[in-house]
Amino acid sequence: MTKRIAVYPGTFDPLTLGHLDIIRRGAHLADTLVIGVTTNPSKEPMFAVAERLAMVKREVDGIPGNIDVVEFDSLLMDFAEAQGAAMILRGLRAVADFEYEFQMAGMNQQLNDDIETVFLMADVSLQPIASKLVKEIARYGGNIEKFVPPAVAADVKRHLSRG
């Protein structure tokens, strides 16, 4: 029997409760969920890729399902093909997300129409959470514990105290 592999790509800078919600739910949709940790050249990351990779691995430990966490630095469709993926998993929070994701899914379909893009709506309580906003709140001394796991909040605090 062929295994269904899904890829959930992102920068995860930092990993939020919203990301973890999508990971938990996505792990039920596929036989293997591959979390692809990457760098988006248009974003300024707070954490190095190795730090984000370790953060994601730590936080998904114990989530039921077959979950792999890997780094990638290539075109998403090339990465998905290399993983043997049948689908790309994406989370949606708002209409603004949909417009961007709709365009991305269309471009990805043009590159490889054998790999489906599957959208999951974020849990209503988690929809406002965005890594960019979490970092902004933290930089100004705000409490981010409602938005990220406790160990990630500690990682962010430690990172900001160094810099």
pLDDT per residue over 112-156, tens digit each?
999 999 999 988 898 889 999 999 999 999 999 999 999 999 999
- Token readout for 53 is 């990779």
Q: Are 77 and 36 in contact, with CB atoms under 8 Å apart?
A: no
Active site residues: 19, 43, 93, 131
Judged by phi (left if over 0) then psi (alpha if -120 to 50, else beta), residue 68 lies in beta
Residue 128 φ/ψ, nearest 5 degrees: -75, -15
- pLDDT, position 99: 86
Q: Give residue 163's pLDDT band: very low, low, confident or very high (50, 70, 90).
A: low
Per-residue buried b or exposed e for 16-32, using 16+ beta carbons within 10 Å of the residue's own CB: bbbbbbbbbbbbeebeb
- For residue range 63-111, what is the model confidence (pLDDT) as tens digits? 999 999 999 999 999 999 999 999 999 999 877 788 888 899 999 999 9
Q: What is the pLDDT of residue 43?
A: 75
Question: What SS3 state is found at 30?
Answer: coil
Cα 92 to Cα 22: distance, rounded to the nearest angstrom: 9
| Domain of residue 42, CATH code | 3.40.50.620
The residue range of the domain holding 66 is: 5-162
- Looking at residue 1, its pLDDT comes to 65
What is the number of domains present in the chain?
1
Q: What is the pLDDT of residues 26-71, one digit of tens each?
A: 999 999 999 999 987 777 899 999 999 999 999 999 999 999 999 9
